[in-house]
Each structure stands twice: as C-alpha cells, then as structure tokens.
Homo-oligomer: A and B are copies of this chain.
Amino acid sequence: MTPIDDLYAIVPAGGAGTRLWPLSRRSRPKFLLDVLGTGRTLLQGTLDRLLPLTGPDRVVVVTGTAHAAAVAEQLPEVGVANLVAEPSPRDSMAAIGLAAAILERRHGSVLVASFAADHVVPDVEGFHTAVRHAAVAARAGYVTTIGITPTAPSTAFGYIRSGAPLEPTEGGPTARAVVEFVEKPDAETAAGYLASGDVAWNAGMFVARTDVLLGHLERLQPPLAAGLREIAAAWDTAEREEVLGRVWPTLTRIAIDHAIAEPVAATGGVAVVPGAFTWDDVGDWASLATLVSPDGDGVRRVSAGGASPVVAIDAPGAFVSADRPVAVVGLRDAVVVLTPDALLVTDAAHAQQVKAVVDELLARDRSDLV
C-alpha cells in the first residue's frame, strides 16, 4: 500500500494504566508493555500500524521526559527530531497541539492524525481504510474522528452520536456530522445507544488539518494556542529548553475532547467516519483477556513462559499471566497476573477495581509497588 502523502501521525504516549497493575507501573506504563505477549509493546504495535500510512519520518511521539529514553529505545525508526518530551503532564490538548504546531512550522499546513499509544487494533487493514476515509473529510476542513462500530453495549467507552451525512467527497465514503460526544454511559443507556444505531465508540482518534485544528484552538483556547505556538517557534532552535521551561508550566490542562471536539461538534465542524474494525483500549484485565485467544481447554494466557501448564478445574474463562505453572479451581472468569514482585488475583467482573489496589498501596506508603 502507498502512504498518505500529506499525513503526519501524532502519538501521545501517556497515562499510567493503573488498572493493569501489577504489570503496569508508573515507571513502566501500559504503552511500554507487551501486554499481549506478542513480542511488541502497545507503543510498538501503534507504530507498526501507522508506518504503512506515513512512513517512518512522519510519526511524532509525545511523551513525558521520564519515559523519553524508553520510547526512543522501543522505536528506533522514529528519529530524535520526532520525539517530543513534555516536561510535565498538561493533558492531551497541549500534547497534541504542540506536536501539530511543530509540524505546521516545519511543513506548513498538513494533515495530522492522533492515536493513543496504548490501544489495540487487531484489524490493521480496517484501520487503514478508516484513516484514509477520515483524511478525505479532514482535508475538506472537518475535525474528523473515527467512530468505532460498537459490538456490544459497553459502559467502558464514551460514545459519538452522528447526524446527517455530509456532502460526498471524492475518494471518501459519506462522512457524517457529529451531533455530540457522550461520556461513558450506564448499562441501560448504552443498550439504548446500540439500539438507535447512530452511535459509535469514541476511540480518541482525530484527523484534522493543522490550520483547522490550531485555528479552532486559537478561537476556543487563545492562551493555550499562543503558548503552544511560542514553544513551537522555539522548538527547532537553541531556545527550546528556555521557552519550554518558561511557557509549558503555564499551559491550560485540558483534554482535546473538551477543548475542541465537543465545542466544535456543537457548531457542526466535526465529522465522523465509520471504523468497522476491532479495537480495544485495553482498559483493564477483563478487556485484555478478551483480546487473547483461549487455549484448547478454554484458558486465556499471556506468558513469557508459555510452556508452563495452566490447569483450570471448574474454572471457565480463566485468564492467566504467569511465569510458572498455575492452577485455578472453582472460580469463574478468574484473572491471575503474576510478576516478579507482585501477584494479582481477581475476576473479570471486578477488573475495574484493580485501580483501588494501587490507591491502597500508595496509602500504605508502598509507592515502590505502583
């Protein structure tokens, strides 16, 4: 396949993934981990997915200074000029906005497409198709999102509600206007969404022209836009550290959803194209378990020591990640994760509560374990 000539990918690599404790830690966040045991980390998988669309020179990764070295090591294809290290977390608008502003200064107005570093997309071909479609709508001036076709009434994801089809554009499918973005619903609301048929999961994937994106930002968040442009102007100069150190801490902390997607959608400026591919944000162990194919005996496992037996007695749906033999007896949808310094035992229904383990360890002054 051929790359999309005017497309640059932005990969904000942040977030701790505390619900994947004990595998994920503050020092080894989710995106740096090979959570599926495929031999590639989530970050590397993200790059693998993007390279056919952009080539190696058009992917920019934004991460915290604490993880910059690890990111560089995991992504030798990405040049140092395309690794943007944030001095401190200022949320996704600052991260994506800075990358967009740097790219615009370097290349003029281009298309930027932003994808989280810690999601899983098994259907790479479907993903590529959706990005190509999104690029068409983005070139036409829309902030364009990819709405994942829901396969279940999930309460773990936000939703995108779409409205009327937009004017057909050459080479693209009929994109639709986004009516609204809605937060994670309760189960009943989610079931209603699914029945209505005009909703999609919000995977946080945005494609836009830099002039469109930064134009919206200038209008909606003027101080943030000005700060980002000031840093971007200094980025490829000797002034970078000075300006970054002075301006970055002053930037507004806001997510791109709240800064741009929601207000721009309200005035008809956001389009959505269908993403008919399998996708997951690997939000917890239950989510991860669904991405792993079961063995012949129904056990789902991720393990470096794959030869170790897992014996499940009266224990359907067990998920096991461990470096030694494991027996699960009498538990349904058990989740067992053993690391060299900790062990988690839970079940799929309680996977979201793993965050409370991290909170409790911090309360016990055991930050060494989180």
Spell out A's residues near B (CB within 8 Å). Answer: 21-22, 309, 311, 313-314, 322, 324-331, 334, 336, 338, 340-347, 349-351, 353-354, 356-357, 360-361, 364, 366, 369
User: Do residues A344 and B369 form an inter-chain contact, with CB atoms below 8 A?
Assistant: no
Pick the contact of A364: B309, B322, B336, B344 (CB < 8 A).
B309
Contacts of A325 in B (CB 8 A): 22, 341-343, 361, 366, 369
User: Knowing that A325-B369, A336-B343 are A-B contacts, what are 19 other residue pairs whose CB atoms are under 8 Å apart, sorted by A's residue number?
Assistant: A21-B327, A309-B361, A309-B369, A311-B360, A313-B350, A313-B357, A313-B360, A325-B341, A325-B342, A326-B342, A327-B345, A327-B346, A327-B354, A327-B357, A329-B344, A329-B353, A338-B338, A343-B343, A345-B345
In the assembled complex, the Cα of A369 lies from the Cα of B369 at a distance in Å of 30
Closest CB-CB distance, A257 to chain B, in whole Å? 29
Contacts of A364 in B (CB 8 A): 309, 311
In the assembled complex, the Cα of A357 lies from the Cα of B346 at a distance in Å of 20
In order of increasing CB-CB distance, the 10 nearest A-B pairs are: A330-B350, A329-B346, A327-B357, A325-B342, A326-B343, A313-B356, A311-B360, A329-B350, A327-B344, A328-B345
What is the total number of copies of this protein in its complex?
2
In the assembled complex, the Cα of A343 lies from the Cα of B343 at a distance in Å of 10
What are 12 A-B pairs at a CB distance below 8 A?
A311-B361, A311-B364, A324-B342, A325-B343, A326-B344, A327-B344, A329-B351, A330-B346, A330-B353, A331-B331, A331-B347, A345-B345
In the assembled complex, the Cα of A314 lies from the Cα of B21 at a distance in Å of 17
User: Do residues B314 and A327 form an inter-chain contact, with CB atoms below 8 A?
Assistant: no
Closest to A348 in B: B330
User: Do residues A331 and B345 form an inter-chain contact, with CB atoms below 8 A?
Assistant: yes
Contacts of A331 in B (CB 8 A): 331, 345-347, 350
Pick the contact of A349: B22, B330, B360 (CB < 8 A).
B330
Closest CB-CB distance, A297 to chain B, in whole Å? 10
In the assembled complex, the Cα of A357 lies from the Cα of B351 at a distance in Å of 26
Closest CB-CB distance, A366 to chain B, in whole Å? 6
